Amino acid sequence: MTPDTLLHRLAAFVLRSGIRLAPAEAREWGNAMLGELQHIEGNWAAVAWALGGAGVLAKHALVALLLPGRNRQSAPMGNPLVREAKMHKASVITGGACLAAVLLFFLAPVFRQGFRVSLAQWQSVINVGESLFYPQKGLESLARRVEKRHDAEGMAFVAARLNNRDESVRLANEAVRLDPKLIWIWGVVGWHFSGASGVPARIKKLEQSDPGNALPCLILAQRADMEHSVVAGGGNTLPPASPSAAWLEAMAGAFSSTRIDDYTGRLRALARTVARRYGLNDPYFVVEMWNGFYLPGQMGLDSTRYAMLIIKSGEALEARGDTKGAIEKYLQVAHFVRMFESHDTYQPFFDALMPVAYRRLAAVYTKMGNGPQSAYFAGLARTAEHKMEQHLLQWRSEMENQGSIFGITAWNQWSWKLQTLRCWRRSACC
């Protein structure tokens, strides 16, 4: 008899549990497997034996549960192998029925939505075909429907999502023509396609209808950058060495703005309305494509460049003894950066800028002999530096733990790539 080890006892427990669950006619066989267990020497071999046996008993328990009236003892006499063939057929039928049941799930819109969402995290790993976000073919067909109905909101909805620049701009213009309250859609289409013709004139109109918002100015600055950018080696575009007058004017406007509204709230409300109106089941028609980033791509770079120009001019004023003028310059930078404090998505772009402005202010007040003001700004600088460190740590941690911005873990990526490699090797071999 084998030693009474923990794993042997566990194996016996598993089998006894199986025997308890099993129907009467299968219990004898469960006891038979239990009797053999005492003669298996290896611990893991005993566990494997018990698991296999428990699986057999569980299968009998399940059959007895699903077919309670079935008389297991009255199997037809004759060749058992005939019965085996029948069982095989039954397995195929059951498997087919299960598959059909699974496919039926796809008839439910909620299931299809959930399934598509579950695929999204693999998008950056598989990286094949059309993006899951904003399926363009579906949008083109939706564009035809909204135009037929002269639906301004529908046009704005499609314009914000189409990749086709000309079509997007045309639909946005038509939407604003039908409903002037939708003028904000120019802000969305404008930053997406800031190089399109007619953008400056429309953004100027938007600026007039939404005074104090920095977004139109940032779009115009990006446009000016694009017009004067320099193509460097490797096809990369760099901002011009000396800023253009149009860019300076636009950035001055942005830095004297009182707020920043990227129209995310309006976009979400529009998506809800249009999705309900047209019964849109595809989640990627309405989901936010840009992960909540609805400002011109050059915004961070432009703002930093312009802020450094202001700080330099403040330093020049300081050198000339105009401390009041210098303070105004530094405060202008601090004020601009503070506009983004409530926007977690954009705040990290200015992490490095804020401490610089506050440190300059603290230094000026020290020079002026104003200790309390100096200490106040020095404290703000420390807080800003701490925040910057926190963002940096968070970013590093995300990069270490995640394979992509969509949240694929490194393990999942690795396993997927391994599977792909195996499939590829198999197809190469055969």
Partner 1 sequence: MTMKSIRLSPQTLQVLDRFSQQPTRWRYGYELSRETGLKSGTLYPILMRLAKHELLETRWEQTEEGVPPRHTYRLTAKGVELVQSERVRARKPLATHKPATAGGRA
When asked if residue 269 is in the footprint of partner 1 (CB under 8 A), the reply is: no
Answer for which of 9, 20, 48, 145 binds partner 1 (CB under 8 A) is 48
When asked if residue 20 is in the footprint of partner 1 (CB under 8 A), the reply is: no
When asked if residue 98 is in the footprint of partner 1 (CB under 8 A), the reply is: no
For 109-156, give the DSSP string. Answer: HHHHHHHHHHHHTTHHHH--SS-SSS-HHHHHHHHHHHHHTT-HHHHH
Binding mask 130-149 for partner 1 (x = CB under 8 A): --------------------
Q: Which two tokens stand for residue 221?
A: 């600055």
When asked if residue 33 is in the footprint of partner 1 (CB under 8 A), the reply is: yes
Least distance in angstroms from the C-beta of 90 to partner 1: 13
* Alpha-carbon torsion, ordered 372, 378, 380, 386, to 10 deg: -150
Q: Is 231 helix (H, G, I), strand (E, B) or coil?
A: strand
CB 193 within 8 A of CB 199: yes
CA distance 264 to 287: 12
C-beta of 88 vs 145, nearer to partner 1: 88
When asked if residue 95 is in the footprint of partner 1 (CB under 8 A), the reply is: no
- Beta-bridge mates of residue 213: 259
Least distance in angstroms from the C-beta of 11 to partner 1: 11
Residues 371-390 that bind partner 1 (CB under 8 A): none
When asked if residue 29 is in the footprint of partner 1 (CB under 8 A), the reply is: yes
When asked if residue 26 is in the footprint of partner 1 (CB under 8 A), the reply is: yes
Beta strands in 209-352 (DSSP E): 230-231, 237-238
123 burial type by CB count under 10 A (0-12 exposed, 13-18 middle, 19+ buried): middle
CA distance 333 to 25: 84
Only one of the segments 84-92, 98-106, 135-143, 183-191 lies at the binding site for partner 1 (rule: CB under 8 A); that segment is: 84-92
Query: Taking the CA of residue 419 as centre, how many other CA atoms within 13 Å lie in the half-sphere pointing to its CB?
Result: 8
Q: Is 243 helix (H, G, I), strand (E, B) or coil?
A: coil
Least distance in angstroms from the C-beta of 65 to partner 1: 18
Least distance in angstroms from the C-beta of 17 to partner 1: 15
CB 294 within 8 A of CB 160: no
When asked if residue 96 is in the footprint of partner 1 (CB under 8 A), the reply is: no
Answer for which of 9, 20, 45, 421 binds partner 1 (CB under 8 A) is 45
Least distance in angstroms from the C-beta of 22 to partner 1: 11
- Beta-bridge mates of residue 259: 213
Answer for which of 20, 42, 397, 415 binds partner 1 (CB under 8 A) is 42
C-beta of 48 vs 392, nearer to partner 1: 48
Type of residue at 72: R
Answer for which of 6, 24, 66, 77 binds partner 1 (CB under 8 A) is 77
Main-chain dihedrals φ then ψ at residue 177, nearest 5 degrees: -65, -40
Only one of the segments 26-34, 292-300, 370-378, 417-425 lies at the binding site for partner 1 (rule: CB under 8 A); that segment is: 26-34
Binding stretches for partner 1 (CB under 8 A): 1, 26, 28-29, 31-36, 38-42, 45, 48-53, 55-56, 59, 75, 77-85, 88
